Structure 1
Amino acid sequence: MQRDYLRQAINNFILFHSEYDFELACVSEKAQTIKDYLEKEKVSDGIYFLDIDLKEQDFDGIDLAAWIRKRDLLAKIIFVTAHNELAPLTLMRRVEPMGWVDKAQGLDGIRAEVFDLLKDAYERLIQRQEENCQIFEFKIGKTNYRYHLDELQYIETTAISHKLKVSFGNRFFEFYAPMSEIEAKYPQLLRISRSCLVNTDNIVEINYSQRWVRLQSGITKSISFRYLRKVKESWDRK
């Protein structure tokens, strides 16, 4: 019952906070199912809600947390339990949980706690990414968007002055910003023409004679003659 409510609380948070770009990836009462999923998907920076009382005699939630910590060093581990007295044991096992959800506080309390912890986990993730310059941030209206810079394929101008189009694979957005400011802020983005910046980490092929680059998304973008030498120098350095 509580697991179902926890799942509902997380799904509600995702539904009403789409700007956080979260998804509920795996739910199970069996540790092995979780382990199999994490090994298959190579999850990193995950957020884990773990019940200490797993229905397995030789493997509890703290054991699973310790296993996760070894494979996802930046994991955000949150215990859902009525046994807060076990907190010292998590220190001994070096699990480093970021929080606890007390089952005894009732459904409304659990929901509020889950929402607060997800917001906190997101802020920690964004802070770390910003410190490492790994996110691309832009604003449309009153909504702020943040995406991994590695996902960004290209940015190009549109017919409207200072309005840019950005591609994250199969997702596209249009927003207002000076191209020159973006170029200066993100060295990973290379100008290949007056109207286009491409992510150098996502270039898979360059044809110098025909002057184009192919990106991981499969799309090609033209290189203007003026920027051909700069593109070649940048590619040779990689």
Structure 2
Amino acid sequence: MKVLILEDVIEHQVRLERILDEISKESNIPISYKTTGKVREFEEYIENDEVNQLYFLDIDIHGIEKKGFEVAQLIRHYNPYAIIVFITSRSEFATLTYKYQVSALDFVDKDINDEMFKKRIEQNIFYTKSMLLENEDVVDYFDYNYKGNDLKIPYHDILYIETTGVSHKLRIIGKNFAKEFYGTMTDIQEKDKHTQRFYSPHKSFLVNI
């Protein structure tokens, strides 16, 4: 399970990372995470990595109120299947998740004790794992790797793939998103020989059939 964390306070970063390590060890769930307190760095992770399944976000970042909601909207743009959890001391903002249309799974209060905090994080981890297992059973994915860059999107949400004009960089157009990723048309067609999910009406396009 891949987790991405946006938190600008070191103390809270360390707390969440420690608890994730404990849950991973106790539950035998492999969890890899990246943590940053820099919004731009976090946004670059989002734009370049499609396979994060769970996002933990603070809401107020470096004094910018509700910045976490804006970041959540960006996550939804690039990864409509992501699970988002807000971790904040601003519990009064819970109802704003509907206003920003980010469909957050949970809203965890930073001020609760460690035992309760861990229980809430654990619930979110278990839910994410169950969703991953469920989706693997019923959803057919376009699972593509190019030179260490992973992309995993359900076929039923893909419309087509196009070139971008930049060498080895493509753009996938979906029902609710557009995503640039590294790869080549030739490489995708070669890997698609057996499944034949794509048709090429032009050398610059692959259409999901």
Greater RCO (Cα-Cα under 8 Å, separation 6 or more): 2
Q: Same fold (TM over 0.5)?
A: yes
Aligned to 1:100, what secondary structure does the other structure show? strand
Where does structure 1 differ by over 3 angstroms across 4 or more consecutive aligned residues?
Answer: 148-151, 235-238
User: Within 1, Cα distance between the matches of 2:109 and 2:86?
Assistant: 8
Report how many residues are paired: 145
Where does 1:58-73 land on structure 2 (aligned, <5 Å)? 60-73=67-80
1:23 aligned onto 2:32:
yes
> Percent identity, aligned pairs only?
20
1:6 aligned onto 2:13:
no
Aligned to 2:134, what secondary structure does the other structure show? helix
The structural deviation recorded for 1:62 is 1.0
Say if 1:78 and 1:98, in contact at 8 Å, map to a contact too: yes
Post-superposition Cα deviations, 1:180-228, rounded to whole Å, max 9, x if no partner, equal: xxxxxxxxxxxxxxxxxxxxxx9x98xxxxxxxxxx8xxxxxxxxxxxx
Distance 1:79 1:237, change over 3 A: closer
The structural deviation recorded for 1:33 is 1.3
| TM value normalised by structure 1 | 0.53
Say if 1:14 and 1:23, in contact at 8 Å, map to a contact too: no
User: Within 2, Cα distance between the matches of 1:115 and 1:129?
Assistant: 21
The structural deviation recorded for 1:133 is 5.2
Larger radius of gyration: 1
| TM value normalised by structure 2 | 0.59
1:32 aligned onto 2:40:
yes
Q: In structure 2, what is the equivalent of residue 163 of structure 1? A: none
User: Within 2, Cα distance between the matches of 1:67 and 1:78?
Assistant: 14
Say if 1:30 and 1:56, in contact at 8 Å, map to a contact too: no
Q: In structure 2, what is the equivalent of residue 123 of structure 1? A: 130
Say if 2:59 and 2:65, in contact at 8 Å, map to a contact too: no
